[in-house]
């Protein structure tokens, strides 16, 4: 896969748009994970990722080592995400998103409300992590990456990734256990009624 990625980068450097489109498909989830990890807002992360890929296309000749495309791209994504957050008006809230999970499940208002609260709870729990641990957690659980790959992308050591994952899981478990208890109450009450 790495050699295929390298080949795609080399072709994209020669302004092969199809090769670059293939690179986008290959790395879009990783880029989204990093952007969401920094920003905590899926739509804004999507905005940043699309800008990052366009910037990468325009500046592809600045990339010295084609095999490090993903790391280089993640750097662009991080910088753009930080710039975006800096520019964003203070009134806009990071957690002001509507999760598609809540939208797709049911039309039952009670269950829908329950799901929305649950999503907001998980989102708040993830956002309570520090800014280095957040991308680590998103890359692990969204992209299913191994610690070594995460370390390579975020320029950390695998041990540091493991340590951050371990701490993040403990923190999330604590927060989400509370959420699970509170979430069941309205359903049980409504069943009794």
Partner 1 sequence: MSSEHDQLDPDDSLDATLREFFAGTLNGQIGRAEREFQLHLRKQAKAGRRQRTLLILAFAGSMAAMIAGLWASPLLRTLVPVKSELTLGKSGSPQTLPTTPVSDVVEHVTKSQTIDEGVMLLEGTPMRVYRRQAIDQVNTLDGNDHLKSQETTPSDTLVFVKMNTY
Indicate the residue among 17 and 113 with the shorter CB distance to partner 1. 17
Q: Give 182's contacts (C-beta < 8 A, 6+ positions apart).
A: 117
Give the Cα separation of 165 and 184 in Å (integer).
28
CA 81 distance to own-chain centroid: 11
Indicate the residue among 90 and 99 with the shorter CB distance to partner 1. 99
Burial 23-35 (b: 16+ CB within 10 A, else e): bbeebbbbbbbbb
Residue pair 63/9 in contact by the 8 Å Cβ criterion: yes
Indicate the residue among 50 and 71 with the shorter CB distance to partner 1. 50
CB of 28 to partner 1, least distance (A): 5
CB of 33 to partner 1, least distance (A): 7
CB of 92 to partner 1, least distance (A): 17
CB atoms within 10 A of CB 144: 9
Site of interaction with partner 1 (CB under 8 A): 17, 20-21, 24-25, 28-29, 31-33, 36, 42-43, 45-46, 49-54, 57, 97, 99-101, 104, 119, 122-123, 126, 137-138, 140-142, 146-148, 158-159, 161-162, 165-166, 169, 172-173, 176
CA 188 distance to own-chain centroid: 34
Residue pair 139/34 in contact by the 8 Å Cβ criterion: yes
CB of 19 to partner 1, least distance (A): 12
CB of 143 to partner 1, least distance (A): 9
Indicate the residue among 46 and 186 with the shorter CB distance to partner 1. 46
């Amino acid at each position: 896969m790495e050699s295929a990625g390298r080949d795609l980068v080399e072709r994209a450097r020669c302004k092969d748009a199809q090769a670059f489109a293939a690179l986008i498909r290959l790395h879009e989830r990783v880029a989204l994970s990093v952007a969401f990890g920094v920003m905590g807002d899926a739509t804004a992360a999507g905005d940043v990722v699309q800008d990052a890929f366009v910037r990468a296309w325009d500046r592809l000749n600045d990339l010295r080592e084609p095999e490090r495309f993903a790391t280089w791209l993640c750097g662009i994504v991080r910088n753009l995400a930080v710039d975006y957050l800096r520019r964003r008006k203070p009134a806009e809230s990071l957690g002001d998103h509507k999760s598609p999970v809540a939208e797709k499940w049911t039309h039952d208002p009670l269950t829908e409300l329950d799901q929305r609260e649950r999503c907001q709870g998980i989102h708040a729990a993830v956002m309570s992590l520090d800014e280095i641990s957040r991308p680590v957690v998103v890359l692990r659980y969204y992209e299913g990456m191994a610690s070594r790959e995460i370390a390579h992308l975020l320029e950390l050591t695998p041990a540091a990734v493991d340590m951050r994952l371990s701490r993040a899981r403990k923190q999330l478990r604590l927060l989400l256990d509370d959420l699970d208890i509170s979430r069941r109450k309205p359903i049980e009450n409504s069943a009794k009624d």
